[in-house]
């Protein structure tokens, strides 16, 4: 499903930024002076790099004063030794990796977002997407609040600041903000004295709590960031929970629900790192299960080899192979050096371009009936090329098995910002998909099977909106036209 | 006086940014499609580069939508061909060169400042410094307005946005803003349909109007920017005036006073480019006059040669030589390749470092009684080194003549941010200065002569605050502690 | 075995550069004007990037004039659009990826090496390592030849130039050169009119021939580079063969042997890309076979899961799992964003550093008896860390199985430049290795099995020197002290 | 005359590089451990930056081993702190600034040139141009010597290496080389134990000797580099002299002539820094004298003001004004921020482009009869634009006075590489020049006056070839076609 990650650099203007699937992280030393929070944030953001490669940043809290550094680029490009050395050592910090669309790759959209409000300062790192941003922004703006961008992060930060005017603590302001805002929200807020984590009541995006040896605490989007900073997993932040660290103590300000009722299933399917555990469920294992489940369903075919689409389809392919008894093979090799600095071919349509990224292992597929497993299909463009490569390498038959259902509806919570008309399953039926991708057969995981891929998260409820068009909350206002997008004259 | 321009790169946090001496520019095509406003802004900012080398930026208005690009660095580093090509061609644009202290060299402080307010959007390029920023910010913040930095530009932009709520046009909002804000203000504001220029009622900082051949208009900090874009000089923006371009017409919204009563004399002494004309007075000529006037006053000395301190003291030295009849000589050569990328010596105190920047022409000074003319002395550190170089090159006597009075008081309007305790004339008397700089004699231009350097601006009144401690407006609140600088907990 | 690829940047001086394992490529258009050789070289070098990440370059031949561009960095960093556009389009070109030690990461060592000799010009791209370089250089230098570096490439190019003096063609000069030089040599030479490929008589390093649709030819280190340029595989260059393209025709100047007798087995074990085919043998399949063979040998253990060390041990692990019947699992996840720009931790010894690169999938290994398969162990440092990570993730037992024999002797042909004293198998016995790596058991593939991993290259003979200390040619002079390394006074 | 310094970046191929006007420097510590030769070379190259801005480099000698770092760019771009820190501290070093044409801006042409020859190693920094390079190269190449570029530096280094084979010391080899090579040669050669300086017998290019306080010695192209490293001027290297430092002692190997008979007069006119002293003559003073002499000659005109063309014409203008009694004025201001990073306008012919670089001071020239003084005119393109700017600024008359004779012949010694057909004085007569430049009158310094500008170098003879077509040596073979430029097939 890597087709979604097209990069680029462009200039923001007056359009709505619809996408904030990101990685967030926060840390307090707990008084342990051997811990350099700047380094730890850097390690953690490195581990969370898969959640956002557009821009990144850090805010360090040194005795109540917050210093921020951010920029467009990968973690090693932005958080260089030189940049890190100019920040104070500090005792608290937050970090953020942003994954935006190419139109928003601008430093103005990099996070954390640091603001100075009436009662102090705060820095915010946010993962998710609001569904009532337009409305809330309209309200804020009518009270005279000024916006620099059209990002959800500004809406959230300003709401906290506004609520803070009428209450006694920043955690209370965060609570009130969470009540006002609708959408997927997993965020870390750092005030001069506190580090706060909050997660929406449906638990759409993940967020977990870790503990350092000598008393410090950590909040992170995924557990894979805990290990790199030497933190022990404590638990997931609960849906609707507001939790914060003050004076080296972890305090629950508002207790949330025990289990999400709208956790994004796509975190397991594609987004999260395989070595992470979300709500008790290993991401890696859920992918293998999805592959195995896919193998149980029609249409069954005789095949010689099962291969996966690198990297995200490999685990499902292994599960499929184990379940079906058809041998697993390595049929496609991805160029390890493909990266964001790769030069686009001058003839963009050039077929060799995709060959640079992906090559077939002829010995695996030549003359074979191949089952190609992928985790999902969104637009279908990459899948089409992969099938072509396999056929050119001599595959006799290519049967595609997708370890998730037909992706038919738009996501409003940050997974992907493809409009319905660009979704292959939104515009074609199964036979249409088969033809477009030039397959011998194609099958998707039935919806009722999708929910079985998380046996270790037994009571967890999921958002399956992209497969069903039914969302855990009202999204009717999410597509509202923002008056900011109108060209207001005066 | 080049000692003031120490560069560097640091991180902004919770301190007040006290300095915004900058270059601003605005342009409208007047419907002439052959004009590319992006290119013109680039040329203009290049011509105004001397007013700020820290960061720069551009906002282009394409059919009411404003696109902004900015960054830390010189014009050719930030406004690259690639960056320019990503902006739309547009029909209106503003640009800004920022000169800040090293603590504020951050992209967050780069300008123009683009905001989205309740009634639309605007982009602001500002030159000057407020004296009631702390108070206004406090008021704004009490109404819930949120700040990202502690810059004056934010205070101005948010005040415009706030005033815009209660009035019918952006020019009216600018007018109200100018009434609320105290300080040196020369600015260009671009709304979706209008380009507005405003200057404070004292006329502290310069600003002029130019006209393009086919109907377009230009606003610029200095006339030297008109020529590079092919614009003809129309007139200076009047003190207190608010003027704007709408539908290809130049309209005066509020007529200002005929002449400034507080124009910064330092624009002539040091800051402006010699080929600029401010309020009818050629900057170059005012410097020659200042040198000539210096030659008329005590203590007169017998000398063999008059030399200037490059680059800003050269013209005064010529004036001095002409008036005194003592031959003008080139006694000091500046390395033409000194720039911001220059590597600081590892031993900072190293004497060779200054030799890299400046060398004496031995033939001019060896065995001679030298009169060294400079435009001004602020801290005195560079002057001290220059005298040392001259003595090492064999000068028999070194007499320093400064073409401006003793610089004894802090500037509140953006010329320089040196505190009184660091001003050599603030801590030493004349004899003390002579000894510290190792001079045979030293003299400064008497205050009453300073005002004579602008014969072509006959009715113009000046701010002489740095020489007198008396300012054209109340500065008592300028040094007020900003509550933003307190570490507010909660 | 990724431990070997430590990068860095340093300055070359008077030491011998012992290592030139590289990727080489050459192409002629065959008169097809739709082919842009600059683009094709870029694609090919991208596909061969795994053979060298230190520096790269291209020489383009435009009507007999050779233009070269090269630099330190990865292909997309050096062969940028801008760089490419400054070269002529040309009808012939060669390219080179260099993998050197960190001491030699200098542009002076980047290739191709372009020289102007007595009878013309040539450009050289070389993969391999000489064993009589010191001697040949001494001879050359005694005739007055001057060297700029201590690289083997200079020795080769100068020998060709010298031989060219006494013969009638460049292909003859190459032939004579191949007779003089001893070592692993796979190279492409471009003269004003010809493109020549040569391979040493033992066939130590691979090299193959491809054909473009409209008559052009291609030479490449590996077949994976053929596909990206749309070339069809013709055959491997034979050991001892000298083949060239002239006037769009492929001509064999000297016929080589049918099969190598000293092909580096490590090309299959680690170095080549899995989707390449060398001497008829798929690299991917040879790795699976090696894993399967490892599974057949003692000590057999009861285990719950077989995992591979990413990326190079994964295929052997699959082969092991299939053969043993023990389930294959994904036990380790490599951070996809690790690259050469990665910031080294300030505390180099820091344990978190390795965690950034590699994380365990706890679900796969917790409480399990794990068989960890890797392709090879050289120094053992990475393996040690991997075992630690697995144990921390809860593995009950860790048994390591290596799909190649004990690596006990130094390589003289470019695979790796580790000295014997730094090889873990050079200094410890099996039990010592087990203890040092903290394993429950460890086993290596028996030597007699190693040669069975290439069933599709039946008559091929291999260099197994790193496992046996016996090499296909005399290496006694390879370690000779170069008089160039002596500090000659005068 | 700044038109000559057009920059750019291109790729070298098979053409002759005709130009090596450069800055060279060498230093030995004399055992003073407080001296860091790396830093001193950096300072010196900074002072010599005006002699070459294309590329630069350093070779450091640490106990007989020579380490080199070089690159394309200005001194602060190439000799960064990081680059410097990777070199050893050393006790001897040489440095080089290269000024080449844009076609040769390639790291392969950067210097010093380090080679390993039969009897050791050496590094070479060269300033000048050979007139028998083609012949010598042919001879070398016929003995099998291989060239990487077509630069003169390679010819020199290889000749030294070749001669070294048959003699006992490197200084003897340098002597023999100087006898073989014809042309302008000022160079520094560093061997493992010695630092050697040599200058051709005509003394075309300058070179001087300085002494450090504690016994170290310095060789430099100009005296301005002595001061920045704290060295005292000892004397010029004599024409034909070979001098070297060994064991902290300065030794003369071959005594040269007392005075040059072919010193390039253009060093005084334009090339050298004004604060340098060459053969006893201050460069600055010679320029003032040239201006004064120009004022004495016909056609005399009535004028209101004398202005100079920045920067190189300013001093002559001062001399002219003093002599003529017509007031000196600043009529043109050069943008201080113009540099190599300047963005070329997309419409290259655009007139605003030159306005960015140069603005007229209207007050100085409006309604005035202006005498514009420049040091020289080569192509005439810049002069033409300057006159246009002056006329647009309102100058009533513009009379140009050039402080050197008509530049009619090609230079073969490195001053400039303009072909005769492109010299304005090569293709037009005086009246033609006047018309082309749109002047009211134009005059050049008579040839017999030119030689009077160096009163403090009384017995010095000059090369006036560019004015006379007569050169101090035979240049008939300088334009010979290099067989290297032929496309040799084989």
pLDDT tens sequence across B396-444? 999 999 999 999 999 999 887 788 888 999 999 999 999 999 999 999 9
The number of residues making up chain D comes to: 490
| Contacts with C72 from chain D: Cβ below 8 Å | none
User: D65-72 and D397-402 as β-strands: parallel, antiparallel, unpaired?
Assistant: unpaired
Residue C144 has pLDDT above 90, yes or no: no
**pLDDT confidence of residue A339:** 53
Name the pTM for this structure. Answer: 0.86
Active-site position among D22, D224, D411, D466: D22
Distance from CA of D464 to the nearest CA of C (A): 35
DSSP annotation string for B203-265 = --S--EEEE-TTS-EEEESSTHHHHHTTPEEEEEPPTT-EEEEETTEEEEEE---SS-SSEET
CA distances from A108 to A69, A147, C260 (A): 12, 12, 59
Residue range D154-185, pLDDT digits in tens: 999 999 999 998 999 999 999 999 999 999 99
**pLDDT confidence of residue C482:** 63
| Contacts with A136 from chain B: Cβ below 8 Å | none
Instruction: Note if the bond before B112 is cis, omega within 30 degrees.
Output: yes
Active-site position among A2, A6, A22, A463: A22
Residue among C115, C150, C191 whose CB faces D146 most closely: C115
Q: Are D39 and B351 in contact (CB under 8 A)?
A: no
Residue A15 has pLDDT above 70, yes or no: no
D326 C-beta neighbours (distance < 10 Å), count: 19
Probe site for chain C from A361, A365, A392, A455 (most C CB atoms < 10 A): A361
Residue range D369-402, pLDDT digits in tens: 999 999 999 999 889 999 999 999 999 999 999 9
D428 C-beta neighbours (distance < 10 Å), count: 16
CA distances from C140 to A168, A408, C72, C147, C353 (A): 84, 71, 28, 9, 47
Q: A121 and B488: CB-CB below 8 Å?
A: yes
Distance from CA of D109 to the nearest CA of B (A): 22
DSSP annotation string for D149-195 = S--HHHHHHHHHHHHHHTSS-HHHHHHHHHHH--EEEEEEEE-SS-E
H-state helical runs in D93-148:
133-142
**pLDDT confidence of residue A217:** 98
CA distances from C277 to C116, C227, C283 (A): 36, 12, 6
Nearest CA in chain D to B342: D76
Residue range B70-79, pLDDT digits in tens: 988 888 888 9
Q: B339 and D339: CB-CB below 8 Å?
A: yes
Q: Facing residues of D199 across strands?
A: D186
**pLDDT confidence of residue D141:** 86
Strands annotated E in C342-396: 358-360, 369-374
Q: A76 and C343: CB-CB below 8 Å?
A: yes
Residue range B472-484, pLDDT digits in tens: 999 988 877 665 5
| Contacts with A327 from chain C: Cβ below 8 Å | 322
Q: B315 and D330: CB-CB below 8 Å?
A: yes
Q: Are A202 and A182 in contact (CB under 8 A)?
A: no
Residue range C338-395, pLDDT digits in tens: 654 344 434 333 445 566 788 899 989 999 999 999 999 999 988 999 999 999 999 9
DSSP annotation string for B266-296 = HIIIIIS-TT-EETTEEHHHHHHHHHHHHHH
Distance from CA of B356 to the nearest CA of D (A): 6
Residue among C315, C318, C330 whose CB faces A315 most closely: C330
Probe site for chain D from B229, B278, B329, B343 (most D CB atoms < 10 A): B343
d(CA D258, CA D268): 19
Q: Are D174 and D191 in contact (CB under 8 A)?
A: no
User: B441-444 and B358-360 as β-strands: parallel, antiparallel, unpaired?
Assistant: unpaired
Q: Facing residues of C58 across strands?
A: C69, C95
Q: Facing residues of C208 across strands?
A: C220, C236
Residue among D68, D157, D488 whose CB faces C119 most closely: D488
C219 C-beta neighbours (distance < 10 Å), count: 32
CA distances from C422 to B48, C113, C427 (A): 61, 32, 7
A248 C-beta neighbours (distance < 10 Å), count: 15
> Mean of the pLDDT values across residues D278-307?
94
DSSP annotation string for A345-414 = PSSTT-THHHHHHEEE-HHHHTT-EEEEEES--SS-HHHHHHHHHHHHTT-SEEEEEESS----S--SSS
**pLDDT confidence of residue D311:** 83
Question: Mutual orientation of helices C314-324 and C283-296 as an angle, nearest 10°?
Answer: 50
Active-site position among B22, B208, B264, B411: B22
Which residue pairs, CB below 8 angstroms and at least 24 apart, start in B314-318? Answer: B314/D330, B315/B274, B315/B284, B315/B287, B315/B288, B315/B291, B315/D330, B316/B287, B316/B288, B316/B290, B316/B291, B316/B373, B316/B374, B316/B375, B316/B403, B317/B291, B317/B371, B317/B372, B317/B373, B318/B288, B318/B291, B318/D328, B318/D330
Burial class (CB in 10 A: 0-12, 13-18, 19+), D458: exposed
d(CA C93, CA C218): 10
Probe site for chain D from B27, B310, B359, B393 (most D CB atoms < 10 A): B359
CA distances from B481 to B115, B155, B478, D19, D142 (A): 26, 16, 9, 62, 81
Chains that touch C (3 or more CB pairs under 8 A): A, D
| Contacts with B47 from chain D: Cβ below 8 Å | 335, 356, 359
Question: Number of H helices and number of E strands within chain C?
Answer: 17, 23
> Mean of the pLDDT values across residues C451-478?
94
**pLDDT confidence of residue C20:** 59
Q: Are A69 and A87 in contact (CB under 8 A)?
A: yes
d(CA A392, CA A389): 5
Q: D359 and B75: CB-CB below 8 Å?
A: no
Question: Mutual orientation of helices D314-324 and D283-296 as an angle, nearest 10°?
Answer: 50
The number of residues making up chain C comes to: 490
If phi > 0 it is left, if psi is from -120 to 50 it is alpha, else beta; for residue C325 that is left
Probe site for chain D from C143, C144, C152 (most D CB atoms < 10 A): C144
d(CA D224, CA B359): 8
Burial class (CB in 10 A: 0-12, 13-18, 19+), C474: exposed
In which band, very low, low, confident or very high, does the pLDDT at B100 lie, cut at 50, 70 and 90?
low
> φ and ψ at A62, to 5 degrees?
-115, 105
D251 C-beta neighbours (distance < 10 Å), count: 13
**CB-defined contacts A:B, below 8 A:** 145
CA distances from C303 to B82, C293, C369, C388 (A): 58, 17, 5, 18
Residue A302 has pLDDT above 80, yes or no: yes
d(CA D233, CA D211): 7
Active-site position among C22, C56, C411, C466: C22
Q: C11 and D63: CB-CB below 8 Å?
A: no
Residue among B76, B336, B361 whose CB faces D311 most closely: B336
> Mean of the pLDDT values across residues D297-307?
90
Q: Which helix (H) or strand (E) holds A44?
A: helix A37-47
Residue among B162, B191, B490 whose CB faces A119 most closely: B490
Radius of gyration (Cα) for chain D, nearest Å? Answer: 23
d(CA C417, CA C410): 7
Residues in Cβ contact with D393 at an 8 Å cutoff, skipping those fewer than 6 apart: D360, D361, D362, D365, D366
H-state helical runs in B405-444:
424-427, 430-436
Probe site for chain B from D36, D79, D220, D337 (most B CB atoms < 10 A): D337
Q: Tell me, what's the ipTM?
A: 0.84
Q: Are D409 and D421 in contact (CB under 8 A)?
A: no
B13 C-beta neighbours (distance < 10 Å), count: 20
Residue among B117, B150, B488 whose CB faces A146 most closely: B117
CA distances from A156 to A128, A130, A474, C159 (A): 11, 9, 19, 70
- Give, in degrees to the nearest 5, the angle at Cα B343 between B340 and B347: 135
d(CA B443, CA B445): 7
**pLDDT confidence of residue C57:** 95
**pLDDT confidence of residue C263:** 97
**pLDDT confidence of residue A298:** 76
d(CA C156, CA C126): 9
DSSP annotation string for D37-106 = HHHHHHHHHHHTGGG--SEEEEEEEETTEEEEEEEES-HHHHS-HHHHHTS---SEEEEEEEE--GGG-S
Q: Across all residues in chain D, what is the average pLDDT?
A: 88
Q: A333 and C80: CB-CB below 8 Å?
A: no
Q: Are D117 and D156 in contact (CB under 8 A)?
A: no
Distance from CA of D230 to the nearest CA of B (A): 7
Chains that touch D (3 or more CB pairs under 8 A): B, C
Distance from CA of C282 to the nearest CA of D (A): 38
Residue range B56-67, pLDDT digits in tens: 999 999 999 999
Q: C47 and A335: CB-CB below 8 Å?
A: yes
Q: Facing residues of A402 across strands?
A: A374, A444
| Contacts with C158 from chain D: Cβ below 8 Å | 146
With touching defined as 3+ CB pairs under 8 A, do chains D and A touch?
A: no
d(CA C181, CA C201): 11
Q: Taking the mean position of all CA atoms in its chain, how far away is CA D225? A: 14
Residue among C285, C336, C352 whose CB faces A363 most closely: C285
d(CA D310, CA D336): 11
Residue among C69, C87, C146 whose CB faces D115 most closely: C146
Q: Across all residues in chain B, what is the average pLDDT?
A: 88
Q: B284 and D49: CB-CB below 8 Å?
A: no
**pLDDT confidence of residue D300:** 82
> φ and ψ at C381, to 5 degrees?
-65, -45
Q: C14 and D484: CB-CB below 8 Å?
A: no
Q: Is A22 considered catalytic here? A: yes
Nearest CA in chain B to A147: B116
Residue range C155-207, pLDDT digits in tens: 999 999 999 989 999 999 999 999 999 999 999 999 999 999 999 999 999 99
């Amino acid at each position: 499903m890597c087709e979604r990650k097209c990069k680029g650099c462009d200039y923001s203007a007056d359009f709505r930024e619809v996408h904030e699937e990101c990685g967030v992280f926060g840390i307090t030393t707990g008084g342990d002076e051997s811990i350099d929070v700047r380094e730890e944030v850097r390690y953690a953001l490195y581990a969370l790099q898969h959640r956002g490669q557009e821009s990144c940043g850090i805010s360090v809290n040194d005795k109540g004063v917050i210093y921020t550094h951010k920029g467009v680029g990968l973690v090693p490009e932005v958080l260089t030794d030189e940049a890190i050395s100019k920040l104070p050592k500090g005792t608290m910090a937050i970090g953020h990796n942003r994954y935006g669309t190419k139109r928003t790759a601008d430093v103005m959209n990099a996070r954390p977002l640091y603001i100075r409000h009436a009662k102090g300062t705060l820095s915010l790192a946010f993962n998710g997407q609001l569904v009532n941003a337009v409305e809330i922004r309209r309200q804020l703006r009518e009270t005279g609040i000024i916006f620099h961008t059209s990002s959800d992060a500004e809406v959230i930060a300003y709401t906290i600041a506004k609520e803070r005017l009428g209450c006694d603590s920043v955690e209370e302001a965060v609570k009130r903000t969470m009540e006002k805002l609708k959408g997927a929200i997993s965020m870390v807020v750092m005030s001069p004295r506190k580090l706060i984590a909050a997660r929406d009541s449906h638990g759409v995006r993940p967020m977990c709590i870790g503990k350092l040896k000598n008393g410090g605490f950590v909040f992170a989007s995924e557990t894979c960031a805990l290990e790199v900073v030497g933190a022990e997993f404590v638990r997931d932040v609960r849906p609707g929970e507001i939790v914060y660290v003050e004076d080296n103590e972890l305090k629950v300000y508002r207790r949330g629900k025990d289990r999400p009722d709208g956790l994004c299933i796509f975190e397991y399917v594609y987004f999260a790192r395989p070595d992470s555990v979300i709500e008790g469920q290993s991401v890696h294992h859920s992918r293998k299960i999805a592959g195995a489940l896919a193998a149980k369903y029609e249409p069954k075919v005789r095949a010689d080899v099962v291969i996966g689409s690198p990297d995200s389809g490999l685990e499902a392919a292994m599960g499929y192979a184990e379940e079906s008894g058809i041998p697993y093979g390595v049929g496609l090799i991805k160029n390890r050096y493909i990266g964001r600095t790769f030069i686009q071919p001058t003839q963009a349509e050039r077929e060799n371009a995709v060959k640079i990224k992906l090559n077939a292992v002829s010995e695996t597929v030549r003359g074979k009936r191949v089952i190609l497993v992928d985790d999902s299909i969104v637009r279908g463009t990459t899948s089409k090329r992969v099938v072509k490569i396999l056929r050119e390498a001599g595959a006799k038959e290519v049967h595609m098995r997708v370890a998730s259902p037909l992706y038919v509806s738009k996501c409003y919570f940050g997974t992907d910002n493809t409009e319905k008309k660009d979704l292959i399953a939104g515009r074609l039926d199964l036979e249409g998909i088969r033809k477009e991708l030039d397959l011998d057969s194609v099958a998707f995981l039935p919806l009722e099977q999708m929910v079985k891929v998380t046996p270790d998260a037994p009571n967890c409820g999921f958002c399956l909106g992209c497969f069903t068009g039914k969302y855990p909350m009202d999204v009717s206002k999410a597509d509202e036209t923002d008056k900011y997008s109108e060209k207001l004259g005066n």
